[in-house]
Structure 1
Amino acid sequence: MRQAVPSWVTLLVLSLCGMASALQFTLAIPLLPEFPDLLGVSTADASWLVTVTLLTAAVSTPVIARMADMYGKRRMLIVALSAMVLGSLICALEVSFVTMLVGRALQGFGASLIAVGISILRDELPPERVGTAVALMSATMGIGSALGLPLAGVLTDWLGWHSIFWFSAVTGVALIVALLVVIEESPVRTPGRFDVAGAVLLSAALVCLLLPISKGSAWGWSEPPVLGLFAAAVVLLAAWAPLELRVNQPMVDLRTSARRPVLMTNIASIFAGMAMFVNMLVTVQVLQQPAGAGFGLSVTAAGLAMVPSGLAMVVVSPISGRMLTRWGGRVVLLSGSALMAVAYVGRIFYADTVTAVVIGSTAVGVGTALAFAAMPTLIMSSVPLTETASANGLNSLVRSIGTSLASTLVAAILATHQVQVDGVSLASGDAFRLVLLLGAVASVVCAGISALIPTDRRTHHERELARTQGRTKQEAVIRGRVRLARPDNNARGMVLVSVLDTRGEQLDWSRADNAGQYSAVLPGPGTYVVIANTVGWAPAATVIDFAGGEVEQDLTLTDELTVSGTVTSDGVPAPGALVAMSEAAGSQVGSTHCDEQGRYTFQLPLTGRYVFTAYDARTGRARARKVLLSIESEIVDIDIPAGPDSCDGRVVG
């Protein structure tokens, strides 16, 4: 059996993976002005070397993250790193511009390393260290981005431009070896078959959405290719969403994603991504522009000016980790976005020296570190533990949408507000102030949305684990199937399974698939209560005394909740009478006919006011009743009296 690896070693390896992920985007940026001459292509063509990496990153992250939940997190980290290494080697060999495009596309697979790495940290580390570890892992995107620019300049000056790709390849190989040696495969997995159709549709929709966002300024926003791609994205998403609601193991669980904590966090992430990227874009641009419109620093010097921001993220990580443990993700996200807003406002008025720019950029970086640490924590506290990687992957995707929007908006602002310096058009001071205002607005919106996220809290069991469990976790996945006594009942995708401890705290939950299969996580040996529940059925519960090993537990819902009763005509049962149920607002729910004894049955609908109407064809008379239904089975008897039709509001039960 492998000897336990210290937590700091696990964190170090995964954090280096996160930094390697970020470097794939920034290492090539200083070369972008040189690529047309180096590769013999136009400037527009050369820009694809950045665009294709961003597109691949957006498409591959949710796919790899979902596969990590299903087939193993360490395994998919190695797959992503292998693709990144292959892409780096292709770029380093530089056969042609086309092969460079292929290589840069493969490098984009590295974007999934952070989302999957965060999920591994939750699975592997003791609970009391998860907050700080997630904070550092989340900050690696900003740290890697800040270090990538000066590193690219140094490597290019000393060893030539090919060296940045050789560096990326060697780093990736070293990290693959480290993963194999240090990281154990997580036992927390989701069973089932991968949703290939959902992955293809989502990938196509993302390409059609992000490509015009990235290229709209160059192609023209009103041009047919841009409008056509946006229309295709809408059509593809419209086809994808119903598919995800039908399949057993969807690529993205839309029902879970629609839960308020997850939905609000993902929306906030879009604006947090915008605020983060605005900081990097505006800082580098203003530092590199020639004197008179900027500070005239070299690429390497401008990159070095970003290093304090990256270092500040490292320093803030343990602080944000303690804040997450004490106050939860909502407060930390709100604090981080508020700090970014204040820093941006300060930069609008104080940005006349390099020192002021660096201080302002660092302050935004600290806020970014807090916000980015909070988002995966909020996500993981609101989704099933067997789906943390895919949920973080979706969160990374929406952040990338925010960065793409920021890039487009910044480019538009800088292009429309220019001054002439020595005959060259450069972005004006007003342009930079507008960009900083954009960052402030994005931060304020992020803070406002953060305030709408429900407060997250750690369970009593997690606190107990933090005090007693030590260095290793003993989590196990419980699997099983929820069966309905009436199998033709239409409750697909709506059966929820919860795991409680003996204090009544919910430790995990799961949504059974269309076949009734579910999986949830038990945190360690102990006694647990497993509950299955769905609309229209009485819940079922069982007690599990878990001592270790594999756990399988099936549950059966036997008591269907119904609305039933007897229809009589002047006190005599009315066989064959029609009974119709509709909402009080008028929408039809269903209808049925009575049996030989005048009895009828409906499955219990959602709570609310309903109208029951009975019609006896033999007598030609009818009667309607208004009923307030709760979550328990109800008996509603209807008597159709002789004489004129009538209606009242009494419930007989």
Structure 2
Amino acid sequence: MPKRLALPVASYAVLLVSALQTLVVPVVSNIQADLGVSATSASWVVTANLLAAAVFTPMLGRLGDLYGRRPVMLGVLMVVLAGSILAATTSSLPLLLVARVAQATSFGLFPLSIGVLREELPPAKLTGAMAIVSGMLAVGAGLGLTVTGLLMQNGGDYHQLFWLATALSAVGIAGVFLLPRREPVATGRLDGAGAAVLGLALVLLILPLEEGNDWGWGSARVIGSLAAAVVVFAIFVLFERRISHPLVTTRMLTHRPIVIANAAGLFLGFSMFAVFLAVSYLVQTPAGVAGYGFGSTVLAASVVYLLPGTAGGVVTAPLGGRLVGRFGAKATLVIAAALALAGFAMLAVLHDDTWEIIVGAAIVNTAVMFGYAALPALLIQHVSPAETGIANSVNSIARSVGMSIGTAFVVTMLTRNLIPGVPLPHESQYVWIFVVGAALAAAAGILVALALPRSRPVALSVREVEEEEVFGAAGLAVPAELVRKSAT
């Protein structure tokens, strides 16, 4: 009986991950109003979660290898439960940020859940099970947006969202508790010091990007924080060179194909949250006051404008896998960049009608799904079998950092040069967000097309591509037999 629970429990855990990620996106402005803080400060409710996820995810995957996945999953869910209760009961921004950092440990449930499937299911059922679990990322994101809209209609209290997260976490604990106990699959130690240094470097990088409007872009605090980020990143690299079980190997930071893959991951993460937040803010802007926008409710912003593109991931993610199998990872990444360019360009020019926003956001979301399908296949072509796990972990960090930068960029653009007498940005500031997204998409496409080494498309079946995609998205080692085939 416990073995039969592996798939439903893993599916639920991954659904919880993505639901917690999107629950707060449409209500950042509500949190700002309730707490009486600036838009920049309120945006840390999203940014702090993503930054913490960048550090926690590879660490928790490693802890699952060292101590067993079931106990680590239980520990994660208990931390998420505690964070959700804190978020549901506090009206303090610092405590809410602590709660969101605690909830960020949920990102580790994805690699841990894939590990559970590998332990409990026979090979013949593994690929189909992983496809179902991976699909829960899109389903959970859509569910999070839908539930947010429903709970927040008619002026609902955003604390309800965190009470819901509390209940969902409790159900997850009960499910994971029923899983069978397994022995750890690895020995060694966790690079906690490296993770702490990386976390400090990321905070020093993102903090001035978030606070630049308030601090002044030429101020000593902004320049000093960015300079300190460079120094701490350098210390991180030197530290990782000297230990036997590093969080990130030096090769992952210097090998050109891997650097390009990580740059692409950074861009894809940026695109996902830039379009999420920009569209959410844009459609909720009252047209009668600002001269643009739709005066949308949180329900409409969630369900009408954001949900179609997110839910479409159930279809577009498998399609991305087929593109990789047919044309190769490099070509698929170029296609993804071209789609992102088209989507952002459309939003920059056409954003006066509802259908224009829906279609533009859906195109960008499709580009992200295609890119996420291509990255694991690209990485395994350029690393040894022993390095696929760490390569995917680093790429996972890059995607999370990109999400954080996307959030910081949107908030920075929308909190400067406000309309006189109205605490709202000019329409041109949204246009600039979309223009920058399009420019970055063009740069990413050119970088991948020209700088990546030429490689012929790999003769992988759709099933094998789907396996690569799920392992890679989870930051795990791709099975050696797939790596060998891709390298031939």
Specify if TM > 0.5.
Answer: yes
Inter-CA distance 207–125: structure 2 relative to 1 (3 Å threshold)? farther
Please list, as runs of the form range in 1=range in 2, the aligned pairs for 1:223-372 lying within 5 A after superposition.
223-291=219-287, 292-305=291-304, 306-372=306-372
**Any idea what the Cα deviations from partners look like across 1:413-442, whole Å, max 9, x if unmatched?**
44456556xx52533343332222222122
Structure 2: 5+ residue runs without aligned partners? Answer: 465-479
**Any idea what the Cα deviations from partners look like across 1:346-390, whole Å, max 9, x if unmatched?**
333333210121122112222221112222343356555566554
Name the structure 1 match of 2:424.
Answer: 426
Please list, as runs of the form range in 1=range in 2, the aligned pairs for 1:586-597 lying within 5 A after superposition.
none
SS of 2:312 mapped into structure 1: helix
Alignment of 1:148 onto 2:148: no
Paired-residue identity, %? 30
Q: Which amino acid aligns with 2:173?
A: I
1:165 to partner: Cα distance: 1.0
Inter-CA distance 42–321: structure 2 relative to 1 (3 Å threshold)? closer
Name the structure 2 match of 1:18.
Answer: 14
Q: Identify the range of structure 1 (238-247 vs 322-331) with the bigger mean alpha-carbon deviation.
A: 322-331
Please list, as runs of the form range in 1=range in 2, the aligned pairs for 1:163-562 lying within 5 A after superposition.
163-181=160-178, 189-291=185-287, 292-305=291-304, 306-379=306-379, 382-383=382-383, 388-415=388-415, 419=419, 423-424=421-422, 426-451=424-449, 452-454=451-453, 455=455, 506=484
SS of 2:424 mapped into structure 1: strand
Inter-CA distance 343–387: structure 2 relative to 1 (3 Å threshold)? same
Verify the 8 A CA contact 1:112 1:393 in the aligned structure 2.
no
Using the alignment, how far apart are the partners of 2:190 and 2:95 within structure 1?
Answer: 30
SS of 1:338 mapped into structure 2: helix
> What's the C-alpha RMSD, in Å, of the aligned pairs?
3.8
SS of 1:424 mapped into structure 2: coil
Name the structure 1 match of 2:470.
Answer: none
Inter-CA distance 4–276: structure 2 relative to 1 (3 Å threshold)? same
Q: Identify the range of structure 1 (58-67 vs 335-344) with the bigger mean alpha-carbon deviation.
A: 58-67
1:33 to partner: Cα distance: 3.5
Using the alignment, how far apart are the partners of 1:67 and 1:262 within structure 2?
Answer: 25
1:393 to partner: Cα distance: 3.1
SS of 2:187 mapped into structure 1: coil
Name the structure 2 match of 1:59.
Answer: 55
**Any idea what the Cα deviations from partners look like across 1:47-82, whole Å, max 9, x if unmatched?**
544443233223322322343444445544443333
Structure 1: 5+ residue runs without aligned partners? Answer: 467-498, 510-653
**Any idea what the Cα deviations from partners look like across 1:168-212, whole Å, max 9, x if unmatched?**
12212323343454688697x443222233223222222222222
Total equivalences in the alignment: 464
**Any idea what the Cα deviations from partners look like across 1:142-184, whole Å, max 9, x if unmatched?**
6544543442232244874332112112212323343454688
Higher Cα radius of gyration: 1
Using the alignment, how far apart are the partners of 1:183 and 1:447 within structure 2?
Answer: 45
Using the alignment, how far apart are the partners of 1:56 and 1:283 within structure 2?
Answer: 24
Q: Which amino acid aligns with 2:438?
A: A
Using the alignment, how far apart are the partners of 1:219 and 1:213 within structure 2?
Answer: 10
Q: Which amino acid aligns with 2:320?
A: S
Name the structure 2 match of 1:539.
Answer: none
Give the TM-score normalised by structure 2: 0.80
Using the alignment, how far apart are the partners of 1:40 and 1:426 within structure 2?
Answer: 16
Inter-CA distance 268–52: structure 2 relative to 1 (3 Å threshold)? closer
Inter-CA distance 74–259: structure 2 relative to 1 (3 Å threshold)? farther
Name the structure 1 match of 2:472.
Answer: none
Q: Which amino acid aligns with 1:447?
A: G
Give the TM-score normalised by structure 1: 0.62
Between Structure 1 and Structure 2, the one with more strand by share is 1
1:457 to partner: Cα distance: 6.6
Using the alignment, how far apart are the partners of 1:183 and 1:324 within structure 2?
Answer: 36
1:296 to partner: Cα distance: 1.4
Using the alignment, how far apart are the partners of 2:140 and 2:40 within structure 1?
Answer: 26
Inter-CA distance 437–4: structure 2 relative to 1 (3 Å threshold)? same
Alignment of 1:162 onto 2:159: yes
**Any idea what the Cα deviations from partners look like across 1:455-502, whole Å, max 9, x if unmatched?**
48768xx87x97xxxxxxxxxxxxxxxxxxxxxxxxxxxxxxxx899x
Between Structure 1 and Structure 2, the one with more helix by share is 2
Q: Identify the range of structure 1 (276-285 vs 117-126) with the bigger mean alpha-carbon deviation.
A: 117-126
SS of 2:351 mapped into structure 1: coil
Using the alignment, how far apart are the partners of 1:225 and 1:294 within structure 2?
Answer: 35
